[in-house]
Every structure is written in C-alpha cells, then in structure tokens.
C-alpha cells in the first residue's frame, strides 16, 4: 500500500509528496528534523520530540508554520493514516523555497513533511551478542560552529564518520570532539558502565541531547544506579566494564568491542541488559 505523507498542511499520496529543487533544505541542509518511534500504535515521547524540534528551529531562526499542538495532531494523523503499529516517523522542517544564494530570508515560507513507515533495526542477534565499533578519525563539529543541541538536516559530519565505520565492516563509529573527548556515535549517544556507575558524556561535549538517552538516564536512576554525566576519553571506553549506545532506532544496544579491543568480558553486560529490558517495557507502556 502506498504511503500517505503529510506535506505542509495535509496528507497526500506518496507519489505527490514532492518538494522544490529550490528548497534550502535540499540546497544547503537548512532545516531541522526529528526521528520518532511508534510502539504498539503509540508515538513514543512525542511531546519531548516536538519540544526539541521547536528549540532547534528557534536556534537557527527557522519559523514553523504550525503550533506544537497542530504538529502533534498532524504526526498522530499521519501514523493513523498509514496504520503504523511499530515503526518510525521522520518529521522534517525545511527553510523552504528561496534563491540559489545563501540568504535564508529569501525563503518566504518554511516547508514541512512527515513520513510514517516501518524501520530497519539492527538484527535481533546483535542485541544479544553486542556490536563492534571503531573510533572515527572524523572530528565532531565544534560546538561554536554548529551547536550539538540543534538536530539539523546537515548530517555530513556524521555521514563521514559512518563511512569510516562501514569501511571497517562495523555498524557504528565513535566520534570525538576537538579536545579528544567522546561526543557521540554517528547516530547514537554513548554510555559506559564502570563499577556499576553509569557514565555518559554531557551534551556540551558535542553530542545530541537524545530523547532515548534521557529516558535511559531516568530508568537507570529509578533502578538505583548511580548516574554521572562527565567527559569520557577513548581510554575510558577501552577499560569500561560495559559499553552501550542509545538512540531512536538503536534503542539500547551493547558494544562488545572497540578498535579491536574487547570490552569487559566480551559479552553484553548485566546493566546493559537490565536497562534494555526496562526501556522495552517503558516504551510499550508496560512500566511508567
């Protein structure tokens, strides 16, 4: 069945969901987006995603043509129209149609589209066995160049690191900031566990303030685990007892090897398994 896409102010058939080649989102990566999960027909943490979208847009002076309440209703309508039970939403706001010049203020009106469809996850066996990653040589964007809190359409920095991972036959790469501290993976946030203390880099280190990251932090605290946000080095990753990533698509997935070095016992650790189970139950409304 062809998808229904929300385009600007309403649903259209997939074949009619088109944007102009003069849209600055296409020409310059000038826009913001959110990736959102759907579990059992429920949109996961929608309020948090909508809030982050508007904050990202405000940071780059990008007006959104709908209110948060209208956009929330549009997301839910798009999910319902496509009968998405378990899937993924891509919510995108572009600068809109303008000239070939950089000037964003030639764009008279922002563009908006919403896609709700299935998502390709890591194979189930990787959640049991864990994944291998590498350290990227591509340095994360300097926070004064592009604030990490802005989830923009310009993902070339992440893509270059992703290419490094794929060239090394692993699914993810860890990115470091200009000072050598861990920022994030190409599409996920980074966590380690050391002596049962859960540690993750602060967003100031160059990582996105992930919605899944925030949920996992809360769940860890609820389980009585000590949680610390602090700068992490490559050494910290190498010697951690456990290592895992969080993200909208990845959810919670263990890392068992980085740069050829085995993490902990070489198996997905107990804290990682606990938090994955708690996240799964929370996402599906079995625990609040």
CB 27, CB 79: distance < 8 Å:
no
SS3 277: helix
Active site residue 151: yes
234 burial via Cβ count (<10 Å: 0-12, 13-18, 19+):
middle
Exposure b/e, 110-144, CB count within 10 A at least 16 = b:
bbbbbbbbeeeeeeeebbeebbbbbbbebbbbebe
SS3 193: strand
Q: In whole angstroms, give the CA distance from residue 269 to residue 244.
A: 9
Q: Active site residue: 83, 118, 129, 151, which one?
A: 151
Q: What positions carry a catalytic annotation?
A: 151
């Amino acid at each position: 069945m062809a998808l229904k896409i929300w385009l600007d102010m309403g649903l259209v058939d997939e074949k009619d969901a088109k944007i102009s080649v003069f849209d600055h989102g296409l020409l310059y990566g000038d826009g913001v987006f959110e990736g959102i999960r759907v579990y059992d027909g429920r949109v996961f943490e929608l309020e948090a995603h909508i809030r982050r979208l508007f904050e990202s847009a405000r940071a780059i002076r990008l007006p959104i043509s709908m209110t948060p309440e209208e956009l929330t209703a549009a997301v839910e309508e798009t999910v319902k129209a496509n009968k998405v039970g378990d899937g993924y939403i891509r919510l995108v706001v572009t600068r809109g149609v303008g000239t070939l010049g950089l000037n964003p203020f030639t764009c008279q009106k922002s563009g908006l589209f919403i896609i709700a469809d299935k998502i390709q996850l890591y194979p189930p066996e990787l959640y049991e066995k864990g994944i291998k990653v590498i350290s990227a040589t591509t340095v994360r964007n300097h926070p004064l160049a592009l604030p990490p809190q802005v989830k923009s359409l310009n993902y070339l920095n992440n893509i270059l690191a992703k290419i490094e991972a794929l060239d090394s036959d692993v699914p993810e790469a860890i990115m470091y900031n200009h000072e050598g501290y861990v920022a994030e993976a190409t599409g996920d946030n980074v966590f380690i566990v050391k002596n049962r203390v859960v540690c993750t880099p602060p967003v100031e280190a160059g990582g996105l303030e992930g919605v899944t990251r925030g949920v996992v932090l809360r769940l860890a605290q609820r389980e009585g685990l000590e949680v610390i946000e602090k700068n992490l080095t490559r050494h910290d990753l190498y010697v951690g007892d456990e290592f895992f990533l969080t993200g909208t698509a990845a959810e919670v997935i263990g890392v068992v090897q980085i740069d050829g070095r085995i993490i902990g016992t070489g198996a997905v650790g107990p804290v990682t398994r606990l938090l994955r189970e708690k996240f799964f139950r929370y996402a599906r409304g079995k625990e609040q």
